[in-house]
Amino acid sequence: MSKRIDAIDLNVYYGNFLAVEGVNINIEPKTVTAFIGPSGCGKTTFLRTINRMHEVLPGARAEGKLLLDGDDIYGPGVDPVTVRTMVGMVFQRPNPFPTMSIRDNVLAGIKLNGKSMSKSDADDVVERSLKGANLWNEVKDRLDRPGSGLSGGQQQRLCIARTIAVKPDVILMDEPCSALDPISTLAVEDLINELKDEYTVVIVTHNMQQAARVSDKTAFFNIAGTGKPGKLIEYAPTQEIFNNPKEKSTEDYVSGRFG
Ligand SMILES: Nc1ncnc2c1ncn2[C@@H]1O[C@H](COP(=O)(O)OP(=O)(O)O)[C@@H](O)[C@H]1O
Ligand SMILES: [Mg+2]
């Protein structure tokens, strides 16, 4: 439940291209951390190293240490599949399995992990996960209908329910509201606020108000120019990043002067 994340001198490559350089960050359990910064500065790339998704692309690799409660997820003998059950991920576009029922969508991650369970245990998981994703009341009477019949915002909460179902320690979200309308966005933001009671949450967002609303701490990433690596510039309590940043480039970015 809710683990601490420490990156130590993390470099992330696509082949020979160093996309993210020298990240050092300590993320406390039961907090929400926002990653902000201009396009191409490596927010998604770094996020995907936290559950070993980055390396699924040919030639993609990470160097350095990434600790979950002190254990290096890049250590020898660590199974990336196990890491991905501890560190769940929610993507930009809601991606429920379209022909699968709402119920089966929630259970999909567990089934992928090869676990079998009784009908009543499965019912419990479905109810717990949908409640945890603030979706239960909206879908409890249509669990056997396809996930694709839900609105975009409901689909995104269904994806969050699917992530919660496997009982992760960390939830990563890559611009989870960028495809959602404002009402759905608020529903997901409310949910993020509740998720931090149980999980470590990291969210990439382009929306400054969203970062200010949902996060405890904010990490600003930047890039010196095309072809240069992205770097973590400043990481501090969110209020400080927005009201009193230490770095000039952070101030320029949060005040909308570039990016
Ligand atoms: N699959 C890929 N192959 C090669 N380079 C990539 C790939 N994905 C992203 N990059 C590069 O890595 C850098 C960081 O990209 P990304 O992490 O997507 O930034 P952000 O999420 O901050 O917009 C960019 O220069 C981008 O072009
Ligand atoms: Mg991105």
Q: Considering every ligand atom, which ligand is closest to the CA of 176?
A: 2
Give Cα separations from 11 to 17, 19, 35, 65, 178 (angstroms).
10, 8, 17, 9, 27
Instruction: Kindly list the protein residues that place their beta carbon closer than 5 angstroms to ligand 2, a single-atom ion.
Output: 44
Reported pTM: 0.95
Per-residue DSSP letter, 92: S
* Digit-coded pLDDT (tens) for 100-157: 999 999 999 888 777 788 999 999 999 999 999 999 999 999 999 999 999 999 999 9
Digit-coded pLDDT (tens) for 83-103: 999 999 999 999 999 999 999
CA of 43, closest atom in ligand 1: 22
What the chain holds in terms of domains, given with CATH numbers, is 5-208+217-254 (3.40.50.300)
Select from 32, 75, 62, 40 the least CA-distant residue to 238. 32
d(CA 229, CA 207): 23
* Ligand 1, pocket residues at CB < 6 Å: 14, 17, 19, 37, 39-45, 57, 230
Between 152-165 and 119-132, two packed helices, what is the crossing angle to 10 degrees?
A: 130
Going from the Cα of 214 to the center of ligand 2, the distance in angstroms, rounded, reads 18
Residue 38, class by beta-carbon neighbours within 10 Å (0-12 exposed, 13-18 middle, 19+ buried)? middle
pLDDT exceeds cutoff 60 at 259: no
Residue-wise pLDDT tens digits, 45-85: 999 999 999 999 999 999 999 999 999 999 999 999 999 99
